[in-house]
């Protein structure tokens, strides 16, 4: 069997001739092997209560193609019999994962839901009403493969998948170990535009941003534009890449345009989202020149703001903040968008002052039937606490040194 082919794996006590009694798993091991399942993955994403644009078919295939970083990416597709017992298979879950042979210094095999350099959410898609059964099949498969632990990073806390995972692990007698929980800026309100800002932002901050906007408007022609169509997408993407590369990310070497694989990934996901009607483009221009641009991706009833680029030559006007202020109204007035996830780091110095709501995220490890699994989960939780403590101490020492240097 070559790399392009998908592998069919039937869960014990399942066999190929007894598919009616349980589920089956198709294992995908390359971006090309994902192609025949694109429509099924699209339908699954639509039928999932939790959203994740990065695991939608167009984005997952692009990531596997361009961002694997030498890792072997697996996608476990869980199938169950459809309603009515007509023999039709129903895709109920899709679990992209990687297998690691060492974890935190331990020579054990663990499975982790796949994340890459541009990941901001990793909640797997599972069909509404089938969350528990899809998770059970995936856990059974991990047990069959003798995985010592399962990692679920970047989960939407309190979502349908998170709740079903907790219920399934509880009924199986497995333990969970949370290794991270944090909040990030989120936008959801029945208000829009100025009314939203009046209700959520301190008056002093509002006056400061209004002053900056007025100064910018007095200095030149300011234009704000939002588009969700596919016209001129390729040209817009190239301008975004060039704009981001001119700033601090370009100097640091982390801009998308600085690495061929990341540049190709961004082009591919924008093209795929545009074809599916899911690319949301926002641009702020000054005298006809783009000074801030934002690429966002729709997913069912929500949207995710993925990347922002701004021109540091106009930093006196805070173009990035201005764009995030102005995009509130079109987001909240869009009948197809109920909420927007900023995808930002916790306590972000800019967006946390502009978008008032919060989404909670968590990382969790789950024990398997492996004899060392309980130890691995407890060990991982302990190591995470020690690492967090070390970072806190290191930051304290760093700031103390800076304070002493400033005194001198």
Sorted by where each begins, the domain ranges of the chain are 7-183+361-393, 189-337
- What local confidence, expressed as pLDDT, does residue 365 receive? 93
Averaged pLDDT score across all residues of the chain? 89
366-391 mean pLDDT: 76
The torsion defined by the Cα of 77, 152, 156 and 330, in degrees rounded to 10, comes to -70
Instruction: For the chain, give the percent of residues with pLDDT over 70.
Output: 87
- What local confidence, expressed as pLDDT, does residue 375 receive? 81
pLDDT at 3 over 50: no
Ranges 32-41, 77-86, 145-154, 311-320: which has the least confidence: 77-86
Domains 7-183+361-393 and 189-337 share a fold: yes
Fold of 7-183+361-393: Aminopeptidase (3.40.630)
pTM of the model: 0.88
Instruction: For the chain, give the percent of residues with pLDDT over 90.
Output: 76
- What local confidence, expressed as pLDDT, does residue 169 receive? 95
Ranges 39-43, 44-48, 393-397: which has the least confidence: 393-397
pLDDT digits (tens, 9 = 90+) for 224-274: 999 999 999 999 999 999 999 988 888 888 899 999 999 999 999 999 999
Ranges 55-59, 180-184, 193-197, 370-374: which has the least confidence: 370-374
Beta-carbon contacts of residue 64 (< 8 Å; ≥ 6 apart)? 30, 31, 34, 73, 75, 96
Burial status of residue 86 (CB atoms within 10 A of its CB: 0-12, 13-18, 19 or more):
exposed
pLDDT digits (tens, 9 = 90+) for 192-223: 888 999 999 999 999 999 999 999 999 999 99
Burial status of residue 122 (CB atoms within 10 A of its CB: 0-12, 13-18, 19 or more):
buried
- What local confidence, expressed as pLDDT, does residue 14 receive? 31
In this structure, the number of other CB atoms found within 10 A of the CB of residue 392 comes to: 10
Closest CA to 216 of 305, 321, 293, 308: 321
- What local confidence, expressed as pLDDT, does residue 87 receive? 64
Distance CA 301, CA 331 (A): 11
Ranges 9-13, 152-156, 244-248, 341-345: which has the least confidence: 9-13
pLDDT digits (tens, 9 = 90+) for 381-402: 776 666 665 665 666 665 566 5
- What local confidence, expressed as pLDDT, does residue 42 receive? 97
pLDDT confidence bin for 19, thresholds 50/70/90: very low
3-state secondary structure of 335: coil
299, β-bridge pairs: 302
Cβ proximity of 118 and 67 under 8 Å? yes
- What local confidence, expressed as pLDDT, does residue 6 receive? 52
User: How many angstroms from the chain centroid is the CA of residue 256?
Assistant: 17
Distance CA 277, CA 63 (A): 19
Cβ proximity of 137 and 150 under 8 Å? no
Ranges 6-20, 61-75, 174-188, 216-230: which has the least confidence: 6-20
Distance CA 99, CA 372 (A): 16
CA dist list (Å): 137 to 12, 26, 125, 130: 10, 12, 14, 11
pLDDT at 101 over 70: yes
Distance CA 344, CA 294 (A): 13
Distance CA 272, CA 263 (A): 14
- Domain 189-337, CATH: 3.40.630.30
3-state secondary structure of 249: helix
């Amino acid at each position: 069997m070559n790399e392009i082919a998908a592998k069919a794996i039937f869960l014990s006590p399942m066999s190929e001739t007894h598919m009616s009694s349980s589920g089956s798993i198709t294992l995908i091991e390359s971006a090309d092997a994902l192609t025949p399942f694109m429509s099924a993955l699209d339908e699954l994403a639509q039928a999932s209560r939790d959203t994740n644009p990065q695991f939608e078919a167009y984005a997952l295939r692009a990531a596997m193609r361009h961002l694997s970083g030498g890792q072997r990416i697996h996608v476990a597709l869980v199938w169950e019999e459809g309603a009515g017992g007509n023999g039709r298979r129903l895709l109920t879950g899709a679990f992209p994962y990687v297998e690691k042979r060492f974890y935190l210094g331990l020579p054990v095999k663990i499975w982790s839901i796949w994340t890459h350099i541009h990941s901001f959410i990793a909640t797997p898609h599972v069909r509404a009403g089938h969350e528990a059964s899809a998770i059970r099949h995936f856990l059974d498969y991990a047990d069959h493969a003798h995985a010592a632990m399962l990692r679920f990073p970047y989960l939407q806390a309190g979502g349908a998948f998170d709740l079903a995972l907790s219920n399934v692990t509880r009924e199986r007698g497995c333990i969970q170990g949370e290794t991270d929980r944090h909040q990030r800026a989120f936008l959801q309100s029945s208000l829009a535009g100025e009314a939203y800002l009046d209700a959520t932002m301190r008056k002093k901050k509002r006056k400061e941003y209004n002053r900056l906007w007025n100064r910018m408007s007095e200095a030149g022609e300011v234009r704000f534009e939002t588009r969700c169509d596919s016209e001129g997408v390729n040209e817009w993407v190239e301008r975004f890449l060039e704009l981001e590369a001119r700033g601090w990310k370009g100097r640091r070497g982390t801009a998308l345009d600085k690495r061929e694989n990341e540049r190709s990934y961004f082009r591919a996901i924008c093209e795929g989202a545009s074809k599916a009607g899911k690319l949301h483009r926002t641009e702020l221009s000054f005298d006809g020149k783009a000074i801030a641009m934002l690429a966002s991706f729709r997913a069912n009833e929500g949207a995710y703001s993925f990347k922002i680029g701004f021109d540091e030559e106009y930093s006196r006007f805070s173009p990035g903040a201005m764009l995030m202020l102005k995009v509130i109204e079109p987001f909240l007035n869009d009948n197809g968008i109920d909420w927007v996830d900023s995808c930002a780091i916790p306590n972000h110095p800019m967006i946390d002052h502009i978008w008032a709501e919060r989404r909670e995220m968590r990382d969790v490890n789950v024990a398997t039937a492996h004899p060392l699994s309980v130890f691995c989960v407890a060990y991982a939780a302990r190591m995470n606490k020690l690492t967090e403590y070390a970072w806190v101490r290191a930051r304290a020492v760093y700031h103390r040194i800076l304070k002493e240097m400033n005194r001198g």
